[in-house]
């Protein structure tokens, strides 16, 4: 039995939706009168908000639990997130944690913690449709760039991916509740909102507004300066959303549209339901309306049976697109997914390593080229934090590049700068004008 916790620490792994969930769990516990601490080893309650996407991500949970037991003050441990959903009671059996709570049930965290304090391990991995949002406390204080989950779950069932199993079916939050939360975020200090969803561009409502309709409505919120959205699926990239990139000044020129691979045979085996060509045609349409758009994607190398020639097709697709920045991963077999059964086609580790290195060399080259092309441009920067040097601040360009500059502007200010230096991973800006303070 553990005493009722007074202090808590939330550690989030994985995607931005998990970061959002972690923030909301923190707000929920603060509303119960608990105090947040930055030091996990000093907390009475540690929430590990986990990710199940690749094997390494999952292993981290168990090593973290071990470390907390060794260095912490024997805290109450709650496992939340996608590992909680996927492994449920197994975690209690294997690691003797106090609470296991899935991504759709974390609004019940206070009751689960109370149950654990009374000596019974508490488990909740139910998946009610978006019930949690209505049960969470209002947003109070956020940074200048805030996340807002609008869509959850996935119906696409790519053969390598656990998300449809851990996050459930695709669900869109209602229009009005999103607008209300966006206004609350702006009142709480947000200048930029990133709309989140596993397939955010599948967001829709009964009126058929589509994500672009939602973005048009957000555009009218005074005090909100920038809108972004992630992650999108190629098959949900509708005309209205593409046009929104030309019509809405607040919508930043950035599109994260994962393709995963460049070979049609591999894409089919992945059940991606788009082809290399259909993907490239979408990018052409986006670039036609917004020529300066920064493109981003995700790649998996070494999907079962991927041949050398098929991998070369991924490289040639990368060369054809010219991405601004990307994520790339080695295929990781996940329990319960169809691809994990394709054991006769598993690609040897050293081949995966070599493919990943070659792919990343192409992606790094293109990122450096994209950054170099912004040299001399004038753009706004949203200041997000202090830099390492005195008087230095860090923020983001419209194209999501990190920009550092010397300024007396404060966190949350929007500054117009000239880009005076471009490095492979960041830019330097020279202040010209304060846009909004």
Distance of CA 388 to the CA centre of its chain: 26
Site for ligand SAH in 58-77 (CB under 6 A): none
3 state SS for 365-401: HHHHHHHHHCCCCEEEEEEEEECCCCCEEEEECCCCC
Determine, following the binding rule CB under 6 A, whether residue 160 of this chain makes contact with ligand SAH: yes
Q: Is the Cβ–Cβ distance between 315 and 275 less than 8 Å?
A: no
Distance of CA 348 to the CA centre of its chain: 29
Query: Which regions of 51-112 does DSSP assign to beta strands (E)?
Result: 76-80, 99-101
Q: Which stretch binds ligand SAH (CB under 6 A): 28-36, 159-167, 208-216, 308-316?
A: 159-167
Q: Which stretch binds ligand SF4 (CB under 6 A): 36-44, 142-150, 155-163, 349-357?
A: 155-163
> Would you give the binding string for ligand F3S spanning residues 189-218, x where CB under 6 A is met?
---------x--------------------
Determine, following the binding rule CB under 6 A, whether residue 198 of this chain makes contact with ligand SF4: yes
Three-class secondary structure of residue 404 per DSSP: strand
Smallest separation, CB 98 to ligand SF4 (Å): 30
Which residue's CB comes closest to ligand F3S? Answer: 14
Smallest separation, CB 422 to ligand F3S (Å): 30
| Residues listed for the chain | 437
- CA atoms of 133 and 104, how far apart (whole Å): 9
Judged by CB, which is closer to ligand F3S: 107, or 167? Answer: 167
Determine if residue 161 is labeled as part of a ligand binding site.
Answer: yes
Smallest separation, CB 31 to ligand SAH (Å): 30
Burial 157-194 (b: 16+ CB within 10 A, else e): ebbbbbbbbbbbebbbbebeebeebbbbbbeebbbbbb
Nearest CA to 86 out of 159, 162, 33 is that of 162
> Would you give the binding string for ligand F3S spanning residues 113-152, x where CB under 6 A is met?
----------------------------------------
Judged by CB, which is closer to ligand SF4: 329, or 370? Answer: 329
Q: Is 407 exposed, middle or buried (0-12, 13-18, 19+ CB in 10 A)?
A: buried
Determine, following the binding rule CB under 6 A, whether residue 164 of this chain makes contact with ligand SF4: yes
- CA atoms of 117 and 115, how far apart (whole Å): 5
Determine, following the binding rule CB under 6 A, whether residue 260 of this chain makes contact with ligand SAH: yes
> Would you give the binding string for ligand SAH spanning residues 294-313, x where CB under 6 A is met?
----x-x-------------
Smallest separation, CB 383 to ligand F3S (Å): 28
Strand (E) or helix (H) holding 48: strand 45-50
Determine, following the binding rule CB under 6 A, whether residue 230 of this chain makes contact with ligand F3S: no
- CA atoms of 84 and 92, how far apart (whole Å): 10
Judged by CB, which is closer to ligand F3S: 15, or 99? Answer: 15
What is the distance between the terminal CA atoms of the chain, rounded to a whole angstrom? 50
Q: Which does 108 bind (CB under 5 to 8 A by kind): ligand SAH, ligand SF4, ligand F3S, none?
A: none
| DSSP, res 72 | S
Determine if residue 51 is labeled as part of a ligand binding site.
Answer: yes
Determine if residue 326 is labeled as part of a ligand binding site.
Answer: no
Site for ligand F3S in 70-109 (CB under 6 A): 81-82
Three-class secondary structure of residue 421 per DSSP: strand
- CA atoms of 341 and 160, how far apart (whole Å): 10
| DSSP, res 162 | -
| DSSP, res 260 | B
Among the listed residues 43, 45, 51, 252, the single contact to ligand F3S using CB under 6 A: 51
Judged by CB, which is closer to ligand F3S: 329, or 399? Answer: 329
- CA atoms of 113 and 34, how far apart (whole Å): 12
Smallest separation, CB 163 to ligand F3S (Å): 5
Binding residues for [4Fe-4S] cluster: 15, 51, 82, 154, 158, 161
**Interface positions with ligand SF4 (CB under 6 A):** 154, 156-158, 161, 163-164, 198-199, 233
**Interface positions with ligand SAH (CB under 6 A):** 53-54, 160-161, 163, 198-199, 231, 233, 258, 260, 298, 300, 329, 331-332, 334
**Interface positions with ligand F3S (CB under 6 A):** 14-15, 17-18, 51-53, 81-82, 162-163, 166-167, 198
């Amino acid at each position: 039995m553990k005493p009722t916790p007074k202090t808590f620490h939330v550690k989030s792994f994985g995607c931005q939706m998990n970061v959002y969930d972690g923030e909301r769990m923190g707000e929920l516990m603060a509303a119960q009168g608990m105090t947040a601490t930055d030091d996990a080893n000093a907390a009475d309650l540690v929430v590990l908000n986990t990710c199940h996407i690749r094997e390494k991500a999952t292993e981290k949970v168990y090593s973290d639990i071990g470390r907390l037991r060794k260095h912490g003050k024997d805290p109450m441990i709650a496992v939340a997130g996608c590992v909680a959903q996927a492994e449920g009671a197994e975690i209690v059996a294997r690691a003797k944690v106090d609470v296991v709570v899935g991504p759709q049930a974390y609004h019940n965290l206070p009751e689960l913690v109370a149950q654990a304090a009374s000596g019974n391990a508490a488990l909740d991995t139910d998946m009610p449709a978006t019930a949690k949002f209505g049960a969470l406390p209002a947003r109070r204080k956020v940074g200048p760039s805030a996340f807002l989950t609008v869509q959850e779950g996935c119906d696409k069932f790519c053969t390598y991916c656990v998300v449809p199993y851990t996050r459930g079916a695709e669900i869109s939050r209602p229009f009005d509740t999103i607008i209300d939360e966006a206004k609350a975020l702006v009142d709480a200090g947000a200048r930029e909102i990133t709309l989140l969803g596993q397939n955010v561009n599948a967001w829709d409502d009964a009126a058929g507004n589509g994500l672009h309709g939602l973005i048009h409505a957000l555009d009218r919120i005074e005090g909100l300066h920038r809108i972004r959205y992630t992650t999108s699926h190629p098959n949900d990239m509708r005309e209205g959303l593409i046009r929104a990139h030309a019509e809405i000044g607040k919508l930043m020129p950035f599109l994260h549209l994962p393709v995963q691979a460049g070979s049609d045979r591999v894409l089919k085996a992945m059940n991606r339901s788009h082809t290399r060509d259909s993907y490239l045609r979408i990018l052409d349409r986006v670039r036609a309306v917004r020529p300066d758009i920064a493109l981003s994607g995700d790649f998996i190398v070494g999907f079962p049976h991927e041949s050398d020639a098929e991998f070369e097709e991924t490289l040639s697709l990368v060369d054809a697109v010219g991405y601004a920045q990307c994520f790339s991963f080695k295929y990781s077999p996940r329990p319960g997914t169809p691809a994990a059964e394709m054991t006769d086609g598993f690609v040897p580790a050293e081949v995966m390593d070599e493919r990943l290195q070659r792919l990343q060399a192409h992606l790094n080259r293109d990122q450096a080229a994209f950054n170099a092309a912004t040299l001399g441009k004038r753009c706004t920067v949203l200041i997000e934090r202090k830099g390492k040097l005195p008087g230095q601040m860090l923020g983001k360009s419209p194209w999501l590049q990190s920009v550092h500059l010397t300024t007396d502007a404060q966190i949350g200010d929007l500054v117009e700068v000239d880009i005076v230096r471009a490095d492979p991973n960041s830019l330097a800006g020279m202040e010209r004008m304060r846009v909004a303070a």
